[in-house]
Amino acid sequence: MANALAEPAKTALFKAEIVPHLRAAYNLARWLVHNPDDAEDMVQESYLRAYKYFDGFRGMNSLAWLLIIVRTTCYTWLHRNRFQEASTVFDEDLQSRVIEMINPETLMLKGADDMLRQLLEELPVEFREALVLRELEGMSYKQIAEVAGIPLGTVMSRLAQARRHLQRRLSNVPTKEY
């Protein structure tokens, strides 16, 4: 292929442009597939795909380009392995009953990180994805729309719904009186 980079140049450019985003790739995969081992597999597969198709990378935002690949890889895997999880409808009443059944003392002992992680895990995958990309990866709404392949308004709607859910859930958590 005449336009393809020579292998050493391709590898060097790949290392410079794509490899630095490994943490972000894992973070997104982890939140999408819910399992650290599966997330590592998804990232590995995504990096293999990214390298294979790196000749098609045209200098766009390298983080967005990689996360599109990670997202596609994860959703394909979810569809094959856990389709019901990816398409589960969020049932707020059920989630509220579950949290009420937890002993308040147990909730008090849980760290803030564990509680936030649990609340994020409850979100439908598309809301969790938007929130992770915005709040944990610091991506702009436009970048999220690009990565997720959805309109900007949908990004804003998903983020608003995810934040509203987290706010409601956090306001139901008992707090210690001083």
pLDDT at 5: 67
Domain 7-80 = CATH 3.40.50.261: no
Tens-place pLDDT, residues 35-83: 999 999 999 999 999 999 888 887 778 999 999 999 999 999 988 886 5
Tens-place pLDDT, residues 159-174: 999 988 888 887 775 5
42: burial class by Cβ within 10 Å (0-12, 13-18, 19+)? Answer: buried
CATH 1.10.1740.10 domain position(s) in the chain: 7-80
Tens-place pLDDT, residues 107-155: 444 455 677 778 888 888 889 999 889 988 899 999 999 999 999 999 9
Rounded to two decimals, what is the model's pTM? 0.67
Which fold is adopted by the domain 104-171?
Arc Repressor Mutant, subunit A (1.10.10)
Answer for the pair 174, 104: CB distance below 8 angstroms, yes or no: yes
> CA-CA distances (angstroms) from residue 168 to 80, 116, 133?
33, 13, 21
Q: How far is the C-alpha of 153 from the C-alpha of 155, rounded, in Å?
A: 5
CATH 1.10.10.10 domain position(s) in the chain: 104-171
Which residue, 37, 117, 36, 32, is CA-closest to 67? 32
